[in-house]
Amino acid sequence: MKRLTLARAVAAACGAVAVSQATAAPPEDLSACGAIADPTERLACYDRLAGRPAAPAPAPVAAKPAVAAPSAAAPVATSPIVAVPPAAAPPAPAAAVPAAQSGSAAKPATAGAAAATSFGSYSAEHPTAPALPQTLSARVIKLGKTIDGRPTVTLEGGALWLLDEADPLLAVGDTVTISRGAFTSFLLETPTKRLHHVRRIS
């Protein structure tokens, strides 16, 4: 029994040595792989001898495009600098004159000041009328009549007077005198000392 077991063990050992010798790579193949300079290809060669599947080759890395450095001698184009003159400032608007300072508002203020000064003073509130001339002497330049036939006399300056009656002795060129009478009446005296009630109509 012991002999049979020992014989089986020896047979198994011999089989294992035969298998290992059959799978071992020949020395010349190992030398060929060792002569490869590229490490990636050399590793792939060893994997093939060992029976391992070849690893996928890494994707090639795209080379970055070279950027050309600007030449120091090449001139760099620059935009010209144009000086822009400053914009003229708009004219200042004319200051508005308040209504209280205008001429139209100044008159009521002046009148009010004058009224305050003269208030209650009879002589200031009732000024004396200027003295009127009592007589007027002028030369006759025209004798005429109205539409209804009443006599008129035109004096120098264009004043037209209406006579109460005709005077045959009065002539153009005579100098007459007109005086004030009672109740706003007027008397005309001719060079012959004749008196006529007269009234100015223009």
- Of 40 and 5, more confident: 40
What per-residue string of b and e applies to 66-87 under the rule 16 or more CB within 10 Å gives b?
eeeeeeeeeeeeeeeeeeeeee
Residue 21 belongs to some domain of the structure = yes
Residue 95 belongs to some domain of the structure = no
In this prediction, residue 153 carries a pLDDT of 96
Range of the domain at 140: 135-200
Query: Please, what is the Cα angle at 131 between 129 and 135, to 5 degrees?
Result: 140
Q: For 108-125, what is the mean pLDDT?
A: 78
- pLDDT tens digit string along 147-190? 999 999 999 999 999 999 999 999 999 999 999 988 889 999 99
CATH for 140: 2.40.50
Residue 127 belongs to some domain of the structure = no
pTM, full prediction:
0.41
Tokens standing for 75? 């001139």
- Of 102 and 36, more confident: 36
Q: What is the dihedral of CA 173, 179, 181, 186, to 10 degrees?
A: 30
In this prediction, residue 77 carries a pLDDT of 54
Residue 80 belongs to some domain of the structure = no
Q: For 79-105, what is the mean pLDDT?
A: 56
- Of 19 and 3, more confident: 3
Q: Number of folded domains in the chain?
A: 2
Residue 146 belongs to some domain of the structure = yes
Residue 166 belongs to some domain of the structure = yes
Identity of the highest mean pLDDT range in 22-36, 74-88, 151-165:
151-165
Residue 82 belongs to some domain of the structure = no
Residue 31 belongs to some domain of the structure = yes
Q: For 113-135, what is the mean pLDDT?
A: 84
Q: For 80-96, what is the mean pLDDT?
A: 59
What is the rounded distance in angstroms from the CA atom of residue 155 to the CA atom of residue 151?
A: 13
In this prediction, residue 146 carries a pLDDT of 94
